[in-house]
Structure 1
């Protein structure tokens, strides 16, 4: 008989970790930002989203980002530049905020695929696809609609973000690798054991 897998449940420790990372993402916005085309700000907060997905996993990471966005919607100025309120969800940045939520899930699924210990290449792949590609994929079309410009124009303008986002992905990869080696308890996960090929016995002479 095949039994269904138990539904993942969040305990108080998971919720506390989600709250901590929501705070981390907010703190990364304190240095402020500078705006480029269309008033879309370049900030360090995406780095926090990358770390949330890579360290907390898809479920708890999503709770963390959703908590931050809910607080922003209630009016708390937790986004870079002290922005907050429902207005940010109908402005040019709205798609990028949605991309945070989509991206953190993608990051967590890739980095922790198969419950395996994070390795550098899978971590970088996850934070790049989730923290860069997914965010752009959600942000650019909505920016195009809200600003009434072509998608190609919005995509071209977003090229200014690429170097900074690649730098964030590299930083996140380095941080996650350091935690795996030096403080694996940060992940609060049970990784599947590595499967190694058995050694052949030496021939008897």
Structure 2
């Protein structure tokens, strides 16, 4: 199918708008009340739900840029991290590993998700593929999170893994919710996946 010059010209602007909008979405989810748990009080937030959702909707490149924009805004001092925090002080927090893992986690989840989207895929295959993609992003974020607790909270590997296990049930639920949201969005806007390839 031929693409009109107007459509091609509008594509970068639309992608930039999506990146900015979804970065704001992550920030909004981060500002909801956080619940500190575990030995180093890494908070339970809706940040990861937002990251999984953005990845499954936008795909690798746009999701990675959206999450990177969110992190940059927070590091520059905007109060967009959990508990309304921001600034470079977060680099020393036990939760920084999780924040750092958001970018590769979103990229990998988005990359895998877009392999399962398209009219030739059945609904069951698409749903299963998105679930696998979200879980892959979850695994990447967990690896960074455990490493962050080891470095910033001075925990040994076993203690950091035990601390991370507290978040697993909640994140599995968030993965399922993100899949449900992404399926609805892609059904309503099937061209979205094509524009992000």
- 1:121 to 2:128 alignment: yes
SS of aligned partner of 2:82: coil
Q: Which runs of at least 4 in structure 1 moved beyond 3 Å after TM superposition?
A: 114-118
Partner residue, 1:54: 56
TM-score, normalization by structure 2: 0.86
Rg larger in structure: 1
User: Please, which of 174, 189, 195 is the counterpart of residue 194 of structure 2?
Assistant: 189
TM-score, normalization by structure 1: 0.82
Partner residue, 1:138: 144
Per the TM alignment, residue 114 of structure 1 is displaced from its structure 2 partner at its CA by 7.2
Where is the helix percentage greater, Structure 1 or Structure 2? 2
CA–CA distance in structure 2, aligned partners of residues 180 and 61 of structure 1: 15
* 5+ residue gaps, structure 1: 1-9, 193-205
Partner residue, 1:11: 12
Where do residues 34-73 of structure 1 align in structure 2 (5 Å cutoff)? 34-37=35-38, 38-73=40-75
Cα RMSD, aligned residues only: 1.9
CA–CA distance in structure 1, aligned partners of residues 140 and 62 of structure 2: 18
Per the TM alignment, residue 141 of structure 1 is displaced from its structure 2 partner at its CA by 1.5
Q: How many residue pairs get matched?
A: 181
Partner residue, 1:31: 32
SS of aligned partner of 1:32: coil
* 5+ residue gaps, structure 2: 1-10
Partner residue, 1:199: none
Residues 30-62 of structure 1 show CA distances to partners (whole Å, capped at 9, x for unaligned) of: 222011120211000111111111111111111
Per the TM alignment, residue 191 of structure 1 is displaced from its structure 2 partner at its CA by 9.4
